[in-house]
Amino acid sequence: MKQVANYSSLAKLTFIFSFAAMLGLGQKAASQEVITIKQAVENTLKNNLQVKQSQFTESLSDVTLKQSKLALYPTLNAGVNQNMGWGRNQVASGLYLNTQNYNLGASVSTGVDLFSGFAKLNQIKQNKLLLDADKTNTEKIKNDLILQVITAYLQILYNKDFLKTAEDQLTVAKQQLNQQQQLLDVGNKTLADLSQAKSQVATAELNVTSALNTLSISYLTLAQLMDIPSSTKYDVQAPAIESFTQPGTDFDAEGIYQKALNNFPDVKLGQQRTAAAKIGVDVAKGNLYPRLSLSGSYGTSYFYNYNSTLPNDTFKEQLKNNISKGVGLNLSIPIFNGLQAKYSVKRARINLMQTETQEQLTKNNLNKVIYQAVADLKAAQSRYESTTNAFQAQKDAYYVIEQRYNVGLVNSLDYSTALTNKNKAEIDMIQAKYDLLFRSKVIDYYLGKQIIF
């Protein structure tokens, strides 16, 4: 699973796990598609261009690996050449005559490196490691995208709940304004009281508008992640909260970190790149060694002189008689080439130090993120317990108000306020519950487990 999302992206997830019951949400048009979290993830992985680019990089690395393997095989080349010549030339008698001649030659040659400082073998090893790293990078991109999709998806749920709360508050504000107007009409309130009530209505209306805009942006964010047209109208489906149970929070941060070192994609990617850089030093050192190669050739030719006083041999006879064969052994010893080989080794070693440093930096960041994730999980547990207690208290208070309202001891405004407070407390509790569940899924993420609901 940048390859690893860093903690800054996770921090944005605070309180986004809103409750899935979608209390009081209005009916969406039947023509709108309802997307589940699974569909959102599948659409993103299928359409996302980052994934496709990474897969193309994999394909290029695979081709490079195959080419480096084929470089071990002998080369084989064939050639044919023909020439026609005419003009004044000195012949055997010492005279200059106008001559015309035709020459045809054909040859086959082969060559193979017997020793080149093991550069080709090391290049194969390095290319294989680079291919594995590119595959890991694709896995990392996919897992990072999954986390982003979950974040955006649940942000929509949170914003829908926030919009409902804002609408409930607007309803209460309007009821208060109506009550203040009635009291003003009978002389029990002043214009200042009425103005204050109007201000509360205006503020509530602004909150509703802001919530609507925020919800629209969250829909747009998810659509862009899925690479579907931004104008697409859709709704999201939340899982039923009844299917969830409270996760455990007794996690050992150091134990999680040690397990993550073995399977987390960012660490794996860093290790693969470091291993490739180490082989890269050996590849560069290969240019410092002598190179021994073996070559062979086989050829023949045909010559025809139009001005010769002697008959030319036939084409078949010449091809047979003019056969030439050759075998060569070549040793090339590097003495001075502008220190190119020496500085190539230095660059390779510096690159190795860079990758080693980056690998250690990745491990350090992972350690910090995991310790923070465990702390967040414990904090989410405390918040869930607090909001659960608060909801129970508001629920009890509402029950009392409801009983008194039924016998006429409290007015409708007090009843509506108590109901709104109970609903808000319930939303806070369910948000806290989903936040707790998400924090536990973050731990699964770092353990390399699939995030499912």
Q: Say what the pTM is.
A: 0.75
Domain ranges of the chain: 7-446
Q: What phi, psi does 305 have (nearest 5°)?
A: -110, 120
Q: Please determine, for residue 22, whether its predicted confidence score (pLDDT) is greater than 90.
A: no
Instruction: Check if the beta carbon of residue 22 is closer than 8 Å to that of residue 238.
Output: yes
State in Å, rounded, how far the first CA of the chain is from the last one.
17
Give per-residue pLDDT as tens, 84-95: 888 777 666 667
Coil, helix or strand for 250? coil
Average pLDDT over residues 232-260: 78
Give per-residue pLDDT as tens, 287-318: 899 999 999 999 999 988 877 667 778 888 98
Kindly state which CATH superfamily the domain 7-446 is placed in: Outer membrane efflux proteins (OEP) (1.20.1600.10)
How high is the pLDDT of residue 409?
Answer: 84
How high is the pLDDT of residue 94?
Answer: 65
How high is the pLDDT of residue 90?
Answer: 66
Higher-confidence residue: 180 or 242?
180
Q: How far apart are CA 66 and CA 74, in angstroms?
A: 15
Residues 6+ apart with CB under 8 A from 233: 29, 31, 32, 33
Q: Please determine, for residue 371, whether its predicted confidence score (pLDDT) is greater than 90.
A: yes
Instruction: Check if the beta carbon of residue 291 is closer than 8 Å to that of residue 117.
Output: yes
331, containing H or E segment:
strand 324-332
Q: What phi, psi does 187 have (nearest 5°)?
A: 85, 15
Q: How far apart are CA 114 and CA 119, in angstroms?
A: 12
Within 10 angstroms of residue 421's Cβ, the number of other Cβ atoms is 20
Specify the pairing of strand 234-236 against strand 75-90: unpaired
Q: How far apart are CA 239 and CA 112, in angstroms?
A: 64
